[in-house]
Amino acid sequence: MAHDTPKILIQLDPDKQASVFDRVVAVDAGVDHLFSYRGVVPGDVQALVHGSIFTRGFDQLKNTAIFIGGSDMAAGEALLEAVKASFFGPFRVSVMLDPNGSNTTAAAAVLRVLEGFNGTVQGHDSAVLAATGPVGRRVAMLLAHLGARVRVGSRQLCKSVSLAESLGESTDKLFLPFETSSDEVTAEGLDGAEIVVAAGAAGVTLLTGNVLKKLHKLKVTIDLNAVSPAGIEGVKPQDKKTEKDGYLAWGALGVGSLKMKIHKAGIQRLFISNDLIIDALESFEIGRELA
Ligand SMILES: NC(=O)c1ccc[n+]([C@@H]2O[C@H](COP(=O)([O-])OP(=O)(O)OC[C@H]3O[C@@H](n4cnc5c(N)ncnc54)[C@H](OP(=O)(O)O)[C@@H]3O)[C@@H](O)[C@H]2O)c1
């Protein structure tokens, strides 16, 4: 009987230092060997991929996989394209993309929204604050994928308009842009929203108590910012399905534990076959199985 080769995870990181966070999760996910490459640019990728696909027999290629991390989603996406372009035919290995935890965080946030809505958001009104960031963009895409009506917010209307267009083109769904430059316009943009996900930069309040009290249909809020002050006034990082004034709230830590489970399970999933690409939707489906 052929014995299984050790599980090798190849970490491609565009940053100056390979992420310690990503390395710890890889070890905790049970990989046997972690090969970490830092400062990786698309031009480096083909040689690295060829090293991974020409060394083991087809039946053992599933025991080699690639994780693309780091802190920059756009740089990670460029590496993923270069990785895919370096595969040919059956010569390929499975790949997970999760720079800055964007995919796994968005997946966990949307799963928490679903929990607050008894499993379906079809036809419900949602809004993503700071949807222009890597996490917010993916939250918006996943909510639309589940059939919610989605508004995407930015401090600058022109940014939310171009984001809505770009998301519309990539998903074939409708996204409504709104502006968050003041309480007044934020309240207008959020009028009637049942779901609000705040995906703003750390330590920035996007939704004040003054605006919150005008949102009479609000049922679920998610604040992904863990750094004081809160992204949504009154939501604490440790909130987890906490009852507030008429709505349920999750804070960054309340979402983070599920995010960590999805990240770890995603890495484990890579070694099931040699042809998986784990991006935002796949991370969400992994989370759905875990939740
Ligand atoms: N809980 C977890 O496990 C977990 C994991 C990863 C990330 N996170 C958190 O998730 C959030 C989103 O992450 P990200 O990487 O997508 O965020 P990001 O790129 O740093 O920022 C997202 C958006 O926030 C807005 N923004 C930036 N600086 C601002 C400022 N000074 N004032 C007001 N708005 C500002 C910008 O939108 P506009 O310019 O369009 O307004 C930006 O596109 C962060 O708070 C991050 O710490 C949580």
Compute, in angstroms, the gap from residue 11 CA to the centroid of ligand 1.
24
CA 203 – CA 118 distance, rounded (Å): 30
pLDDT band at 291 (very low <50, low <70, confident <90, very high): confident
Q: Are 67 and 267 in contact (CB under 8 A)?
A: yes
Sheet strand arrangement including 277-278: 33-37, 8-12, 64-68, 94-97, 277-278
- Nearest CA owner, ligand 1 atom 6: 101
Report whether residue 255 contacts ligand 1, using a CB cutoff of 6 Å. Answer: yes
Query: Which residue is listed with tokens 């998903």?
Result: 171
**First vs last C-alpha separation in the chain:** 36
Report whether residue 97 contacts ligand 1, using a CB cutoff of 6 Å. Answer: no
119's CB contacts (< 8 A; 6+ apart) are none
Interval 224-278: pLDDT, tens: 999 999 999 999 999 999 999 999 999 999 999 999 999 999 999 999 999 999 9
pLDDT for residue 186 is more than 70: yes
pLDDT for residue 4 is more than 90: no
Report whether residue 126 contacts ligand 1, using a CB cutoff of 6 Å. Answer: no
- Nearest CA owner, ligand 1 atom 18: 201
Cα dihedral sign, 278-281-287-289: negative
* Largest Cα–Cα separation, the chain: 69
Compute, in angstroms, the gap from residue 50 CA to the centroid of ligand 1.
36
Instruction: Please name each of the domains of the chain with its CATH number.
Output: 8-97 (3.40.50.10280), 104-256 (3.40.50.720)
Q: Which atom of ligand 1 is found nearest the CA of 231?
A: 45
- Nearest CA owner, ligand 1 atom 37: 130
Interval 129-171: pLDDT, tens: 999 999 999 999 999 999 999 999 999 999 999 999 999 999 9
Report whether residue 199 contacts ligand 1, using a CB cutoff of 6 Å. Answer: yes
Quote the mean pLDDT of the chain: 96
Please report, as a single letter, which amino acid is at residue 147. G
Cα dihedral sign, 78-15-101-66: positive
pLDDT band at 2 (very low <50, low <70, confident <90, very high): low
Report whether residue 154 contacts ligand 1, using a CB cutoff of 6 Å. Answer: yes
Report whether residue 158 contacts ligand 1, using a CB cutoff of 6 Å. Answer: no
Interval 91-109: pLDDT, tens: 999 999 999 999 999 999 9
Q: What per-residue confidence (pLDDT) applies to 1?
A: 43
